[in-house]
Structure 1
Amino acid sequence: MTGRDRWTDEQAWNWYQEQEWPVGCNYLPSTAVNPTEMWQAATFDPETIDRELGWAADWGMNSVRVFLQYLVWKDDPEALAERMDRFLEIADDHGLSTMFVLFDDVGFSGDEPYLGPQKDPIPDTHNSQWTPSPGHERVVDRSTWPDLADYVRDVVRRFRGDERIFCWDTYNEPGNSKMDERSNPLLRESFTWAREADPIHPITAGVNWDPNRSEQNRIGSEEADVVSFHDYSDFAFTRHRVEGLKEEWGRPLLCTEWLARTRDNLAESHLPYFKREGIGCYTWGFVNGKLQTHLPWSTAQTSIAEAIEEEDTDTWFHDLVHDDGTPYRPAEYETFRRYVVDDEDPPSLEAIAALAPGADPETIRTATDVDVSAEDQAGPYHE
């Protein structure tokens, strides 16, 4: 089956320069515990989605990144497409484009995905019922791949010319949840299947989430039209990574996950930096709800939490607003409004660095001065 080729550097930049600066969030309605609950017929909640995306627009956001679940498609492709169209309609009404995520290895719950009523969130636990897509067993069982190929081709082809869509993310954090290199073959195939659907939109993948995963990062970046990365590190290391990615790939960059307050990954420092560098950016989370990602990774129920030192649970880790729309930190709301709505020019790199916690304006390090291991900054677990 034929499809389009990977975009050239020139095609990628021509497309990106036609876009407004992409600023948004990873969105799941506060009433859903995972993407399965978001997309199943019984729990699809357009009223909540409409209300919460209105809040996102008020923050100045113009795009959202949204996870799909393969099993919901497998159960009823037509019904999922109708709900996706309804979501796109709501988002577009609020001036928001959408990046759909097709596959995902993250599995905080420890369960394979399943249909029907989803388990309730475990109190005081980070992202306790998140399941992967299509599920770790299917990732390594190639007898399931014809169905996975049909899923990718069908979803992308249905919306291949839809201007409400910003981008396609074929695979979020391949290798997460101890999948490691076993996800690499499906990662590569996911690009092939998406290109066979010949979308007008760019194709990317949520790689570069762990700087140590060199092979996955290479596959996901060399196949992508625009290059994605995730960053939950402090400003000095973020800058170090961005400069490396720019030099290595020379393509538009999208930071499709960021914001981790207790790791000094902050709106005050990172948002103006992303604007200064022309990098699209999507915070992890928006409304604090059943996902409970305001709590740190160390509260996760999986064994990975044992690898993390106890973290501050009083300060919100991710998310921006309470479930009534009130900002967790009004200063963050003002920061978004200043740089997105008011389109204020970002300050110098030195001034941004001075905003970082503990920064000494007299001795600010440059990116090449950073002396910190990638493993320390990546953290043992991401969304």
Structure 2
Amino acid sequence: MAVSAGDTAVSSGQAETGRWSAERANAWYAKEPFLVGANYVPANAINELEMFQADSFDPKTIDKELALAEGIGMNTMRVFLHDLLWQDSTGFTKRLDQFLSICDKHKIRPMLVLFDSCWDPFPKLGKQHAPTPGIHNSGWVQSPGANALKDKSQYPRLEAYVKGVVGAFKTDKRILAWDMWNEPDNTNDNSYGQNHLKTELPKDEKKAIAASLLPQVFQWARAAGATQPLTSGVWVYRTPDDWQNSAKWTPMEKVQLENSDIITFHQYSKPNDLEKVIPALETFGRPVICTEYMARGVDSKFQTHLPIAKKAKVGMINWGFVAGKTQTFLPWDSWQKPYVNGREPAIWFHEVFKQDGTPVDPAEVAAIKQATGK
């Protein structure tokens, strides 16, 4: 079925979930500036657990790095949380509040991500392992992990986490939005999946479980009283015609597009593709934000993409900010071809700044400042 402008293909049960109307979403977005930011984890954290656990939470580093972001005009960050952190709900809530205060100091309103299906399927609390030399995102962990995902007896714990963290900050104006689940049907084929470590759940099983659970996550967040918009971003490359034909959507894409208050997407591709996909996603009649882009090796760059997005007022959040323990300056295929013995790629894949605070490319920082009016 073709989707016309403003038609969001809402199913009959949608009204009960409290999804924002397109009018409410657009009124909210009209008050926002052109949103520019990065997916953020401090350089000294390998993943979201190390970022927020009591023993490794580092406000001084976060303050220093977000000052860099403020200095180039960034006004948002996309920040990943984790369900296991809720085992210390009081401490985690305090640390998240402290993080939000640091963001507010630097005029940054983050989008907080509740769940994530990327990288290591077996997260564990406690001291995180050191980065594996030469490999991109060698220590990032999924939330929920594979064991929790396939064990329905753990779903009440996941529900308590979502309702607890959203409920604690449901009216907090320091938060831009809530991202329910990052790439929920990503099976990590080239890292933990079929082409490498082979520790992932079977592909069809993982996709089916996540597609069944994601609508509940939206409901939990709404039941907790979130006053900020909710979203989950589509991430697989599709033609504009595909986005306008719901018969071509996967079950996961259908859940994402029919439950999100605002439309979010990922775009690791050339500028011509961005120019085409923006009008297609705008036909849903809702605000559109790109929550992942900028991989130099696949021609997704600040200089080309920010002007296109600004013209359409499509928010842009790139992957990576300060190079560090995630090692995402290395390309995705470093899982197959590790950069060992200190070898670096000729072209850094992600990141805006090196660990010493100098730009990877001063021309990129100039492009960001031009886009943000800094």
Alignment equivalent of 1:114, drawn from 112, 124, 134: 124
Q: Does 1:206 align with 2:229?
A: no
Letter in 2 for 1:281: M
For these two proteins, the number of residue pairs brought into alignment is 329
SS of residue in 1 equivalent to 2:321? coil
Cross-structure match for 2:178: 168
Equivalent residue number for residue 350 of structure 2: 318
Q: Tell me which residue corresponds to 2:95.
A: 83
Distance in 1 between residues matched to 2:328 and 2:166, nearest whole Å: 29
Q: What CA distance in whole angstroms lies between the structure 2 residues aligned with 1:198 and 1:34?
A: 28
Query: Does residue 27 of the first structure (1) align with residue 62 of the second (2)?
Result: no
Runs of 4 or more above 6 Å deviation: none
Question: What secondary structure, in the 3-state scheme, does the structure 2 residue paired with 1:12 have?
Answer: helix
Q: Is it true that 1:129 corresponds to 2:139 in the alignment?
A: yes
SS at match of 2:176: strand
- Return the TM-score normalized by structure 2: 0.85
2:54 is matched with which residue? Answer: 41
Question: Is residue 60 of structure 1 aligned with residue 73 of structure 2?
Answer: yes
How far apart in 2 are the matches of 1:3 and 1:325? Answer: 48
Displacement of 1:9 in angstroms is: 0.5
Maintained 8 Å contact 1:4/1:198: no
- 2:109 aligns with 97
Say if 1:132 and 1:210 are closer, same or farther in 2 by CA, change over 3 A.
farther
Deviation for aligned residue 1:213: 6.1
Instruction: Tell me if 1:15 matches 2:28.
Output: yes
Aligned residue number for residue 245 of structure 2: none
Correspondence 1:154 to 2:131: no
Distance 1:195 1:154 in 2: 12
Give, in whole Å, the separation in 1 of the partners of 2:29 and 2:104.
19
Given candidates 284, 288, 299, the residue that maps to 2:323 is 288
Q: Identity of counterpart residues, as a percentage?
A: 41
Report if aligned partners of 2:296, 2:347 keep a CA contact under 8 Å in 1. Answer: yes
Which stretch has the larger CA shift, 333-342 or 211-220?
211-220
In the alignment, the residues of structure 2 paired with residue 111 and residue 221 of structure 1 have an alpha-carbon distance, to the nearest angstrom, of 25
Preserved CA contact (<8 Å) 1:254 1:280: yes
- Cα distance in 2 for partners of 1:49, 1:137 equals 31
Query: In the alignment, what sits opposite 2:275?
Result: 239
Provide the aligned C-alpha RMSD in A: 1.8
Per the alignment, residue 3 of structure 2 pairs with: none
Higher relative contact order (CA 8 A, sep 6+): 2
User: Could you list the runs of 5+ residues in structure 1 that have no partner in the other structure?
Assistant: 307-311, 343-383
Task: Find the counterpart in structure 2 of residue 252 from structure 1.
Answer: 287
Deviation at 1:111, TM superposition (A): 4.3
Q: Quick one: which amino acid aligns to residue 261 of structure 1?
A: R
Q: CA deviation at 1:239?
A: 2.0
Residue matched to 1:349: none
Unaligned 5+ segments in structure 2 are 1-14, 188-202, 239-247, 339-343
2:233 matches 1:197: no
Alpha-carbon distance between aligned partners in 1 of 2:111 and 2:230, rounded to the nearest angstrom: 10
Displacement, 1:182? 3.0
Aligned-partner SS, 2:79: strand
Note if 1:337 corresponds to 2:372: no
Paired letter, 2:370: R
Give secondary structure in 2 for the equivalent of 1:50: helix
